[in-house]
Chain A
Amino acid sequence: MSPVLNVRNLSVSYNGSRALDGVSLEVDAGQRVAVVGPNGAGKSTLFRAMVGLIPHQLGSIETHGTELGYITQRSAVDWSFPVTVHDVVMMGRVGKMGWLRWQRPIDREVVQRCLQEVGMAAYADRQIGELSGGQQQRVFIARALAQEAGILLMDEPFSGVDASAQETILEILSQLHEQGVTMLVSTHDLNLAVEWSDRLALLNGKLIAYGPPREVVTPERLAEAYGGQALWRGEDYAMVLGDIDCCGEGGHHHG
């Protein structure tokens, strides 16, 4: 396996204070990476810096032979905006269309296929605000697929969706995994991260550990990451206490 993504020594500062300090990650093609850490650990910052939404002061991000697709946090979207599901997924094609061009038949085919892949083709003409949280998440996955991004970055995809919607999203992710799509998912659910991922990145400002999940998650490292907020539960790995608000991190970036 060759790496598709190399993050080397990435450092990001906001207003003089360091949000990320020397983070290095190497991700192989097709791997599922979970990024875990407490609130304010820099999970969103890491993703945003990787796609160039916020500048980084040090380090580099390299992708090999594919692009990054960023799936926006649900809380950052205006769901009353007059766009249909089809329109949203078509936005993923804008980069491929180029300036002053209209959508081509190929773009419509790709949109249709991506919607089918996430099981949302029947909802193509719905206004996006009419969907449930899980369905909205699936539409945004379809949009990243329409971008033809080989690496998906998902920032808290399970926040604010119910258990069955989470199950559906996980099924879609395992289909994508079979197709060889590389995925990075940030979550505050440590148990889910350990079960789901091939590699786990434990983050708190700096990268505390990165590797196979069952090797990374040790009581000492969890204590380091969560400052004693993690509750060790033997074979069940961990439950995180005091981590109720998962979406406050990073804030919104407009314009």
Chain B
Amino acid sequence: MAELLDLLLEPLRYPFMVRGLLASFMVGTLCAVVGTYVVLRGMAFLGDALAHAILPGVAVAYLAEANLFWGALGMGLLTALGIGYIGRRGQIKEDTAIGVIFAASLALGVAILSLVDNYSVDLTHILFGNVLGVSDTDLWLTAGLGLVVFLAVVLLYKELLVVSFDPVLAATLRLPLGGLQYTLLILIALTIVVSLQTVGVALMVAMLVTPAATAYLLTRRLWHMMLVGALVGAVSTVAGLYLSFYVNVASGAAVVLICTAFFVLAFLFAPRRGAVWTWRKGRVGSST
């Protein structure tokens, strides 16, 4: 028992680990809560694209030696509004538009970064995160923006629920469909920006989708799904960081793999919806 406690406390002697754990915890919960809407509205591809689309902003900030955060924020908001606009214009299908923007932004980001000599190391950090490099400033920015997103999700809970479940009802209730759609895109963009340093661009979509999808299999109400998702997200990120501390695997990858393990468990064993449950039910049904 004491050994286990030592195991848990040991990393806390290092300030960079404490900052990393705090950042991971915040990012894990926030991604899962916002990810609930990503899962329910089938926006996984959009989330992935949005994460990659911030790369040029990050690259420019890097070259200008500014905080990468602000570059990501500017580009994230710009892309969210762009995708929202194209989606509402409706000349081409939304996922086609996303595909175009996604690849173009990634290319632009790589092109800008390749102008720098030692760009591969920095590109790796941006793509896969560098949670152990989280500074105090980063931590405060994460906490502040995360709180804003979280408050918006709570305050707009019933409106976002109605537009997600039944846009037809939302329209008859005269809710501003366009405004709520943009708001949701901006919330997803902010979440991605906040999470950039912890999980990186490439694995971002896993944090948005996997904990929420796990919760989806286990719950039957929206706010339950948010709570369970947040729990899965928080446990995965923190556990992933411990794993990377002791086993020396990349932290972002460890986090995503633990998340995925939770998802597989839920997929197999969730009451009523899990694969094992439906298989057993099918057998009982056929034998009677």
Which A residues have a C-beta under 8 Å from some C-beta of B? 51-53, 68-70, 72, 76-78, 81-84, 87-88, 90-92, 94-95, 97, 99-100, 102-103, 127, 143, 147, 253-255
The 3 closest A-B pairs by CB, nearest first: A127-B220, A95-B173, A51-B172
Say how far A52's CB is from chain B's closest CB, in angstroms.
Answer: 7
A77, B166: Cβ atoms closer than 8 Å: yes
25 pairs from A and B in contact (CB 8 Å cutoff):
A52-B174, A53-B172, A72-B166, A72-B169, A78-B40, A81-B40, A81-B165, A82-B224, A83-B165, A83-B220, A90-B158, A91-B158, A91-B165, A91-B169, A94-B173, A94-B175, A102-B158, A103-B158, A127-B220, A147-B173, A253-B171, A254-B167, A255-B88, A255-B167, A255-B177
Chain A CB within 8 A of B242 CB = no
Q: B164 to chain A: which residues have CB within 8 Å?
A: 81
Residues on B with C-beta less than 8 A from A84 are 220-221
| B166 and A82 within 8 A (CB) | no
Q: Complex Cα distance A143/B173, Å?
A: 12
In the assembled complex, B17 has its CB within 8 A of some CB on chain A: no
* Contact for A76 among B168, B171, B173, CB less than 8 A: B168
A90 to B159, CA, bound (A): 12
Contact residues in B for A88 (Cβ distance below 8 Å): 165
Q: Which residues of A contact B172 (CB under 8 A)?
A: 51-53, 68-70
Contacts A51-B172, A82-B216 supplied; 12 other A-B pairs, CB < 8 Å: A52-B171, A70-B168, A81-B165, A83-B165, A91-B162, A94-B158, A99-B159, A127-B221, A147-B173, A253-B167, A253-B168, A255-B87
Closest to A90 in B: B158
- A103 and B162 alpha carbons, distance in the complex (Å): 14
CB contact under 8 A between A91 and B166, given known A68-B172, A70-B172, A82-B224? yes
- Supposing A53-B172, A127-B220 touch, asked if A78 and B165 sit within 8 A by C-beta, the answer is yes
- Chain B's closest residue to A92 (CB) is B169
Are B155 and A100 neighbours in the complex by a CB distance under 8 Å?
yes
The complex places the Cα of A182 from the Cα of B10 at a distance, in Å, of: 70
Nearest residue, chain A, Cβ from B169: A91
User: In the complex, how many angstroms separate the beta carbon of B64 from the nearest chain A beta carbon?
Assistant: 36
Which A residues are CB-close (under 8 A) to B171? Answer: 51-53, 253
Cα–Cα, bound, A94→B157 (Å): 11
B260 within 8 A of A: no
Taking a contact as CB atoms under 8 Å apart, the answer to whether A94 and B168 are in contact is no
Write out the residue numbers on chain B whose beta carbons fall within 8 Å of the beta carbon of A76.
168
The residue of chain B having its C-beta at the shortest distance from the C-beta of A91 within the complex is B162
Q: Which residues in B have their C-beta under 8 angstroms from that of A92?
A: 169
Judging by beta carbons under 8 Å apart, are B222 and A83 in contact? yes
B259-285 vs A, Cβ < 8 Å mask (1 yes, 0 no): 000000000000000000000000000
Known contacts A100-B155, A255-B177; is A82 also within 8 Å of B168 by CB? no
CA distance A67 to B277 in the complex (A): 45
Q: How far is the CB of A70 from chain B (nearest CB, A)?
A: 5
Q: Does B63 contact A (CB under 8 A)?
A: no
**Most chain A beta carbons < 10 A, residue from B159, B162, B171, B173:** B173
Residue among B87, B158, B219 with most chain A CB within 10 A? B158
Query: In chain B, what residue has the closest Cβ to A153?
Result: B172
Contacts A82-B225, A255-B177; is A53 near B220 (CB within 8 Å)?
Answer: no
Among A81, A87, A97, A253, find the residue whose CB has the most chain B CB atoms closer than 10 A: A81
A131 to B271, CA, bound (A): 17
When C-beta atoms are compared, the residue in chain B nearest to A68 turns out to be B172
Contact partners of B220 in chain A: CB under 8 A: 82-84, 127
Smallest distance from the beta carbon of A108 to chain B beta carbons, Å?
Answer: 14
- Residues of A near B88 (CB, < 8 A) are 255
Closest to B218 in A: A82
Task: Please give, as numbers and ranges, the residues of chain A lying within 8 Å of B111 by CB-CB distance.
Answer: none
B158 touches A97 (CB 8 A): yes
Residues of A within 8 A of B224 (CB): 82
Residues of A within 8 A of B163 (CB): 255
Residue on B nearest A149 in the bound complex, by CB: B172
Query: Which of B167, B224, B225 counts the most A-chain CB atoms under 10 A from its CB?
Result: B167
Given A52-B171, A72-B168, A91-B165, also A255-B158 (CB < 8 A): no
Q: Count chain A CB atoms within 10 A of each CB in B161, B175, B219 and give the residue with the most.
A: B161
A161 to B84, CA, bound (A): 37
- Within the assembled complex, what's the spacing in Å between the Cα atoms of A81 and B87? 23
- Residue on A nearest B163 in the bound complex, by CB: A255
Q: Which residue of A53, A90, A97 contacts B168 across the interface (Cβ within 8 Å)?
A: A53
Q: What distance in Å separates the Cβ of B204 from its nearest Cβ neighbour in chain A?
A: 23
Bound together, the chains give a CA A53 to CA B169 distance in angstroms of: 9
Residues in A whose Cβ lies below 8 Å from that of B162: 91, 94
Mark B137-171 against chain A: 1 for CB-CB distance below 8 A, else 0: 00000000000000000010011011111111101
Contact A82 B169, CB 8 Å, known A95-B174, A97-B158? no
Nearest-neighbour CB distance to chain A for B161, whole angstroms, equals 7
- Taking the nearest CB of chain B, how far is it from the CB of A204, in angstroms? 24
